Amino acid sequence: MSINTNKALKQIKGMKDVFHYYPFYEHILSRCKPVLEQKHGYRRLLQNTLEREETFTRTLGLSSDIVSKEMYKFTDLGGNNLVLRPEGTAGAIRYLLQE
């Protein structure tokens, strides 16, 4: 398999590169984090990009728009049905329940 080096690499249509926003994001986070963590007891949750399909089909139902229209599904080499995380709530609840 050869790679065509004549084609320019481009971002995906509809997707936006956000690297140039990172300093602004870090500034806001550094200001908010002490207040949210110390005064209100919040903790930051960074979620996985991949989740098991059941995380969403069990909680949202098979007929929800997210499950029927917005999930990218695939089966890994181990036979697990995985999806790219379409939204954050179900994965966050799954994480909290297994802690």
Over 80: is that where the pLDDT of 51 sits?
yes
Model confidence at 65: pLDDT above 70: no
Query: What is this structure's pTM?
Result: 0.61
Query: Across the chain, which distance is largest between two alpha carbons, in Å?
Result: 56
d(CA 47, CA 68): 22
* 3-state class percentages of the chain: helix first, strand second, coil last, to nearest 5: 45, 10, 45
Give residue 7's pLDDT: 74
Q: Residue 81 in 3-state DSSP? A: strand
